[in-house]
């Protein structure tokens, strides 16, 4: 029987679940200890406070999920925004400690850049992009053929949401306080770039796809910095992986958002989630 070519997916912001701390404590207690040592706090207990707490917690939960996967089965990896850091660590491109320090810094920088907002739009990317231009917004995530996220000034987001129905669109304002993946995050770039310049990077063991290019990472430092202000091309990543022969998509970490986006994009592939229950095995 032919073994399916598998891509492992690492989730991003918003994928947190109530049980993810217990999973990390059970499967990778060393990661929890690392958080307590490096951050001098438990981010899992303060996830609701914002990106500065959610990002390191999701990062650790994703690596805990990854530890349950047979590495020999994996042909490709991809992470959605924040998930790129966990994917690169899993692929051996950076150390776990460096990854934790980077996502903690990234979360703090993004948390500081407030006064923005985001909205989900149920429409193809072309239609959503035209709508965004009308209200001075930016494309933030191209998630699937029918799910796009826009980002920008909070007042403009409110206005766009109020006018979406008249434009024949389904829209929902997201519960975030920043205009992520837009030029508003530009102020965070220099500090993240400096931190990335101070760590050692290796060639990934398997190709890891970048959300900026929808292709395997070429210049890791540059792409991770660009990811702050560039849209996440997730739909294109999924299509590109399928073109490479991937027929099985395995989501690790908390939640199951990415598996759902894959199913909305492709109908001829298998999707699986490394669930919390699997951690009991």
pLDDT for 3: 73
Dig out the tokens for 162 from the structure. Answer: 């109020």
Confirm if 79 and 8 have CB atoms less than 8 A apart. Answer: no
Strands 116-122 and 170-173: antiparallel
pLDDT for 279: 46
The answer on pLDDT for 275 being more than 70 is no
pTM: 0.96
| Percentage of residues in the chain having pLDDT higher than 70 | 97
Computed over every residue of the chain, the mean pLDDT equals 94
Could you give the domains of the chain? Answer: 6-113+182-280 (3.40.366.10), 116-173 (3.30.70.250)
CA distance 11 to 55: 10
Give the contacts of 125 (CB within 8 A, at least 6 positions apart). 139, 142, 148, 235
The answer on pLDDT for 34 being more than 50 is yes
The answer on pLDDT for 277 being more than 70 is no
pLDDT digits (tens, 9 = 90+) for 123-180: 999 999 999 999 999 999 999 999 999 999 999 999 999 999 999 999 999 988 899 9
Q: 4: pLDDT confidence band, cut at 50, 70 and 90?
A: confident
* Secondary structure class of 270 (helix, strand, coil): strand
pLDDT digits (tens, 9 = 90+) for 175-230: 888 999 999 999 999 999 999 999 999 999 999 999 999 999 999 999 999 999 99
pLDDT for 2: 66
- Report CA-CA distances (Å) from 81 to 2, 95, 107, 144: 32, 18, 12, 15
CA distance 172 to 169: 10
* Secondary structure class of 76 (helix, strand, coil): strand
Strands 270-273 and 116-122: unpaired
pLDDT digits (tens, 9 = 90+) for 260-271: 999 999 999 999
CA distance 86 to 88: 5
Q: 231: pLDDT confidence band, cut at 50, 70 and 90?
A: very high
User: Where in the sequence numbering do the catalytic residues fall?
Assistant: 81, 181
* DSSP-assigned letter for residue 216: B
Q: Which helix (H) or strand (E) holds 51?
A: helix 51-66
Q: 216-221 long-range CB contacts below 8 Å, 24 or more apart?
A: 217/88, 217/93, 220/88, 220/93, 220/94, 220/196, 221/193, 221/196, 221/197
């Amino acid at each position: 029987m032919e073994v399916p070519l598998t891509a492992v997916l690492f989730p991003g912001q918003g994928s947190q679940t109530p049980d993810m701390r217990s999973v990390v404590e059970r499967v990778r207690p060393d990661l929890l200890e690392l958080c307590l040592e490096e951050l001098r706090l438990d981010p899992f207990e303060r996830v609701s406070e914002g990106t500065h707490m959610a990002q390191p917690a999701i990062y650790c939960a994703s690596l805990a999920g990854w530890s349950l996967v047979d590495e020999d089965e994996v042909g490709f990896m991809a992470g959605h925004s924040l998930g790129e850091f966990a994917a690169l660590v899993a692929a051996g491109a950076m150390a776990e400690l460096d990854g934790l320090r980077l996502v903690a810094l990234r979360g703090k920088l993004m948390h500081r850049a407030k006064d923005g907002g985001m909205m989900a739009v149920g429409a193809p990317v072309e239609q959503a992009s035209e709508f965004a231009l009308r209200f001075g917004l930016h494309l933030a995530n191209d998630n699937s053929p029918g799910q796009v996220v826009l980002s920008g000034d909070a007042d403009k987001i409110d206005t766009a949401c109020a006018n979406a129905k008249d434009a024949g669109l389904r829209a929902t304002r997201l519960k975030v306080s920043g205009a992520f993946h837009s030029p508003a995050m530009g102020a965070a770039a220099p500090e993240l770039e400096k931190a990335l310049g101070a760590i050692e990077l290796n060639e990934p063991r398997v190709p890891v796809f970048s959300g900026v290019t929808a292709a395997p990472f070429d210049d890791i430092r540059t792409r991770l910095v660009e990811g702050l202000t560039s849209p996440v091309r997730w739909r294109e990543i999924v299509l590109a992986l399928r073109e490479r022969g991937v027929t099985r998509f395995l989501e690790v970490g908390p939640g199951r958002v990415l598996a759902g986006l894959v199913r909305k994009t492709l109908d001829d592939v298998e999707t699986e989630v490394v669930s919390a229950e699997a951690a009991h095995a």
